[in-house]
Structure 1
Amino acid sequence: MTFFWVIAAGVMVGVVFDFFRTFRRWQGWGPIVTFGGDILFSLVALLILYRLFFRANALAFRFYNVWGSLLGLILYLRVLSRYLTRGYLMVYQMIANLLKLFVRGIMIPFRGLVLLMRPPYAILRWFSLLSYRIGEHIIYRPLLGLPMAIKEWWRQMWPPRTNG
């Protein structure tokens, strides 16, 4: 029974390893987040080994602990890893699809609000553009001719020059 728990520890470490590996691949983690994930994986694997080695032989370190956990890990990687990896990726994809569906459900009221606000926004936009064009015609165009008008007024203030 003791050897069974040691092998189970190796299998469970393999399951956690595949979980972290597939999650990292699915999320496309960069090197810094990958380092943090590796630290987290190491802590989880240490906790699993601690709990199962304690159950197996009260943490008495024996040589079969190492060989049994390696045997469990190798058995897992050779037999179950590819199936569980596919399963993890399918679960991640299903979660992503459910989240997209949830976000679409939340966005329905906002889309309705956008649809309701289109006509008032269009009227307000048209009125703003009309006000801008009227202001441009009444204020801006006369200001363009102001420097020329000031020069002409200044010339009229002085008597004409004679070259002579």
Structure 2
Amino acid sequence: MDTITKANELNYFFWSMICGVAMTIVYDFLRARRREKKQVGLFIYIEDIVWFCVLGVLVYLLAFRQNAGMIRWYSFFGIGLGALIYKLLLGDKLMNVFRKCYSYFVRAFCFLIKIIMWPVRFIAALIKRPIGVVVWHSRTGSRQLSDMMKVSKQRLRNRMRYKARKTNSSEEDE
């Protein structure tokens, strides 16, 4: 087990502040994305819960790595102080940068998807005409087959009626 000294505790406090700054930056990026694209309230709640769970895991890992697994009250104070310093110095200024970064990221992602989907669209365009011809012929063929079935069904009914009349008329003659 590591011995806890004042230098270790000061180092732990410093890393707690960095953790607070990092998590506030991540949350500001989430806020910028929310301002850029409107979202459903439930999704925002789930996103906040996930962010808070990640923060909890980060605090646990920080305490485990830097302070022999002991979580101290000043670690939470360091996280809060780091977040406050970030908000006072850079918070609002970086929000616009994050919004622009998000919009560029979305554009780049859409462009990448278009590049990836280009061969699929090309192949679909090549196959579209032959498949359309087959579908058209199958529609007309099925329509013709249906018409032939209706006619043959009607002929069969007419023959049965004719035979029934013939048998009825021959029975009456007797």
TM over 0.5: yes
Alignment match of 1:78 (pick from 75, 88, 99): 88
Q: Is the 8 A contact 1:19 1:88 kept in 2?
A: no
SS at match of 2:169: coil
Counterparts in 2 of 1:15 and 1:88: CA distance versus 1, 3 Å: farther
Counterparts in 2 of 1:25 and 1:67: CA distance versus 1, 3 Å: closer
Q: Aligned Cα RMSD in Å?
A: 3.6
Q: Is the 8 A contact 2:60 2:71 kept in 1?
A: no
Measured after TM superposition, the shift of residue 151 of structure 1 is 3.1
Counterparts in 2 of 1:132 and 1:119: CA distance versus 1, 3 Å: same
Q: Is the 8 A contact 1:16 1:45 kept in 2?
A: no
Counterparts in 2 of 1:5 and 1:37: CA distance versus 1, 3 Å: closer
**TM-score normalised to structure 1 length:** 0.68
Q: Paired residues, what number?
A: 156
Measured after TM superposition, the shift of residue 160 of structure 1 is 6.9
Measured after TM superposition, the shift of residue 157 of structure 1 is 1.0
Aligned to 1:43: 57
Q: What does 1:32-111 correspond to in 2, within 5 Å? A: 32-48=46-62, 54=67, 69-111=79-121
Residue-by-residue CA offset, 1:54-92 (whole Å, 9 max, x unaligned): 4xxxx795x766655543332222222223333333333
Q: Is the 8 A contact 2:17 2:79 kept in 1?
A: yes
Q: Distance in 1 between the 2:139 and 2:78 partners?
A: 78
SS at match of 1:85: helix
Residue-by-residue CA offset, 1:80-126 (whole Å, 9 max, x unaligned): 22233333333333222222111100111112112212321232123
Aligned to 2:22: 15
Aligned to 2:132: 122
SS at match of 2:165: helix
Aligned-residue identity in percent: 15
Q: Distance in 2 between the 1:3 and 1:74 partners?
A: 19
Measured after TM superposition, the shift of residue 48 of structure 1 is 4.2
The answer for unaligned runs of 5 or more in structure 2 is 1-6
Q: Is the 8 A contact 1:10 1:73 kept in 2?
A: yes
Q: Distance in 1 between the 2:149 and 2:79 partners?
A: 85
